[in-house]
Amino acid sequence: MSIFKNPDLYPTPPILAIKMLIKVKHWGKIKIILEPSSGMVDLVESIKDKCRHNNVDISAIEIDTHCADMLRGKGINVIDSDFLQYNGLEQFDLIVANFPFSDGDKHLHKAIDILFSGEIVCILNAETIKNPYSNSRKDLVAKLNKFGAQIEYIKNAFSNAERK
């Protein structure tokens, strides 16, 4: 499948995945991880590599059937197909995500809503935070401020990526 058929799919460059996983504060407490918009498996592979010596369950959600099949082929538990419609009962300790660029605010809202206790480390299009033109984005910025979220803007994060 060509990544260019999906305008929201930007595979996570390995160096960016490493930067994300370094942000996780409590690896010792993490038993269940969710990658809710897995795409081309890049980020899940980095998570698996990081957790290879720990007893951690990794689950994924992926809307694209081809990508979901790739995940299953790599031994990843795919628990649903549409993160925004997901209503499972699992309680995750960590959500790691490279959300779709066009509606990352909705995806991060959902991640915040389903995480009872734990951490979220994600990639969002910077404009989602810098340009809160919609009520959804305004509400997200307010939530992030309320929770004391650490936000880092990384210039050229995708400059050497498969998709710029």
pLDDT of residue 105: 96
pLDDT of residue 77: 94
The candidate with the shortest Cα–Cα distance to 121, out of 27, 45, 57, 54, is: 27
pLDDT of residue 13: 86
Sign of CA dihedral 70, 75, 81, 83: negative
The per-residue pLDDT for range 5-58, each reduced to its tens digit, is 766 677 788 889 999 999 999 898 999 999 999 887 889 999 999 988 888 999
The candidate with the shortest Cα–Cα distance to 39, out of 75, 80, 10, 7, is: 10
Share of the chain above pLDDT 70, in %: 90
pTM (global) more than 0.85: yes
The per-residue pLDDT for range 77-135, each reduced to its tens digit, is 999 999 999 999 899 999 999 998 889 999 999 999 999 889 999 999 899 999 999 99
Distance CA 160, CA 100 (A): 19
pLDDT of residue 8: 65
